[in-house]
Amino acid sequence: MDDKEFQKIWNNPINLIGRITLLSAIVASFFPVMYLMISHGIFPPLDVVLKAWILVVSSYGVIYVIEPISYYPVLGLSGTYMTFLSGNCGNMRVPAAACALDVTETQPGTRSVEIISALGIAGSIITNLFFVTLAAVLGAAILNAVPPIVSDAFKSYAVPAIFGAVLMQFGIKYPILLIFGLGVPLACKFLIPSMPAFAITLAGLIITIISSKLIYGRNN
């Protein structure tokens, strides 16, 4: 299948469906506010809305740039649409896609990445919905029943454990990149303590990508 045919069969329908679903979710997110405003005449003052918006943008705005760039090689086009619609990007969708690619031994940079990662993410979304519903019903009771040290461990170490597993999963295949993937953020953290977290992440991302192209691109 050539690029033109793949674009027609896969990319074009995904872009259409992805844009419709994401725009629909954006519009639907305003429904509760519209209901309160129309039915009860409740609406916050404009200055409060602007202050809240500025607070959110200053805290999370950089994520809008970093996450799509850093996660796209694993998620692919369809996976990116599904991930940013369903949420839990770093701690759920990326590991699921990475695991699916690893189990199927899919070669990076191929069209198969798009399909396999999409299937892995779709499976994680379905599984996530089931367990989130289960956790909403039983989660609080279970956490209250276990010792505090166990519940604190779940809250504090679950996400680092997932990222550590994904890091080593790829580190085994591309061990040289561990030097850059771990070394650059650590160097920035210790040599420039005032450097913002998003800048550290972005520096590590860019340098690791460039290093990957130079090292493994040359070897291939």
Residue at 75 is within a domain: no
- Residue 190 belongs to domain spanning: 174-220
- What is the domain count for the chain? 1
Residue at 42 is within a domain: no
Residue at 215 is within a domain: yes
Beta carbons of 70 and 137 less than 8 angstroms apart: no
Which residues, in sequence order, are CB contacts of 195 under 8 Å at separation 6+? 188, 189
pTM listed for this prediction = 0.62
Name the CA dihedral angle for 12, 16, 17, 19, rounded to a multiple of 10 degrees. 130
**Which tokens in the block code for residue 105?**
């031994």
Q: What is the pLDDT of residues 39-58, one digit of tens each?
A: 888 887 888 888 878 777 76
Residue at 34 is within a domain: no
CA distance 115 to 97: 10
Is the pLDDT at 220 greater than 60, yes or no?
A: no
When comparing pLDDT for 161 and 220, which is higher?
A: 161
- Residue 218: its pLDDT value, please? 54
- Residue 42: its pLDDT value, please? 82
CA distance 197 to 153: 23
Q: Where are the beta strands (DSSP E) in 28-103?
A: none
- Residue 16: its pLDDT value, please? 92
Q: The tokens 């429904």 sit on which residue? A: 31
**Which tokens in the block code for residue 164?**
């550590």
Residue at 126 is within a domain: no
